[in-house]
Amino acid sequence: MNFEELINSIKDKEILVLIKKLLKKYDFKSVLCFLVSLNILISANVANAKSELVTISDDASTSDGNKDDDDVSKDPMQASMLPSVMSPLFSYDDLSIKEKQEYIEETYNVKYIDLVKAFTVPQWGVDYSLANQIKARSDYEEIKELFLDLVEEKYNFVLIKYGLTEEQFEVFDKTLLGEGGEYDYDECYKLANSVDNRIHSSKWVNSVDRWYDKGDGYSLYYQIICPGQYAVYLDGIYKKYKNVFDYIGTYGVIEYLYTRESVTDYMSFYMASNGGNIYHDSLNDKIRIDNPKVLSNEEVEEILEDELRR
């Protein structure tokens, strides 16, 4: 029995997920040998097979495995065999959001930020040469389709992670576009970071709760619409933005909320006389709190997997 036949013989989705977990840490030859030895168990007793796979895949997650993650790609023979042996187990749709982004960047030799530039309104003074090269490629439509699907997945991921409706995200995003500049990816990323800091601060959560229902202070949306806070929302300026995905700033907002890779501890800002924002009001350990309404990436992934099973 070859690898493809072996994988096709496994009908249990949970076992396939566990095998995928193993393949992230071990070379496929080792996994193949293990699966062959386990094949009798799989056909005879699925429960025992799952138990054994769970144990080994957990070990793979908590250790470095028997090789570095990049070792397979350094072996030309194994690298050439990977697509054919893994295709029965993996399809692009099975990859995580992070894995899909890595796949697009590596397969098409592009950077995510240049893809964002290629599909948004140009920003004055920014180098768009790489973005323009992407548009001129023969495989542009293929890249475009993968990119737009990836963005949609990140967007849906963020909605679930923060418990936002589409309408609430739109208000949040448009307000930050106005406060940071719709053509400024980095500033909108930083602004999203600063509002996220607020919903992890007892000071700002309690402040917003006094205006709304208890617990609303944990929401990005209620932080934005709270009286006396964000002028772009309060003055209605945010309404001028139509299709927010035309602006690079939106991708900065989504990227921060998806990754939560912090670039600032500040929670407030004001506009400088010469333009730009000056940040202040730092989130410190005395007021830092857990936010029970913000899900971990793992929790979001479980929800998405449950939806796929239905």
**pLDDT one-digit tens code per residue, 244-274:** 888 999 999 999 999 999 999 999 998 887 7
Asked if 280 and 268 touch (Cβ cutoff 8 Å), the reply is yes
Determine the average pLDDT of the residues in 160-167: 96
* Alpha helices, DSSP H, located in 45-184: 46-62, 71-74, 76-86, 97-108, 112-118, 129-135, 140-162, 166-180
pLDDT tier at 74, thresholds 50, 70, 90: very low
Q: In this predicted structure, which of 27-41, 129-143, 167-181, 281-295 has the lowest mean pLDDT? A: 27-41
pLDDT for position 75: 42
Tokens (6 digits) for 24:
């992230």
Residue with tokens 């193949």: 32
Q: Is the pTM of this model over 0.85?
A: no
- Specify the DSSP class assigned to residue 7: H
Residue 204 confidence (pLDDT) above 90:
yes
pLDDT for position 84: 45
pLDDT tier at 83, thresholds 50, 70, 90: very low
CA–CA distance, 250 with 119 (Å, rounded to integer): 12
Determine the average pLDDT of the residues in 146-173: 95
Residue among 258, 293, 303, 296 at smallest CA distance from 97: 258
Q: In this predicted structure, which of 55-64, 140-149, 155-164 has the lowest mean pLDDT? A: 55-64
E strands present in the chain: 266-271, 277-282
Q: What is the pLDDT of residues 57-67, one digit of tens each?
A: 555 555 554 44
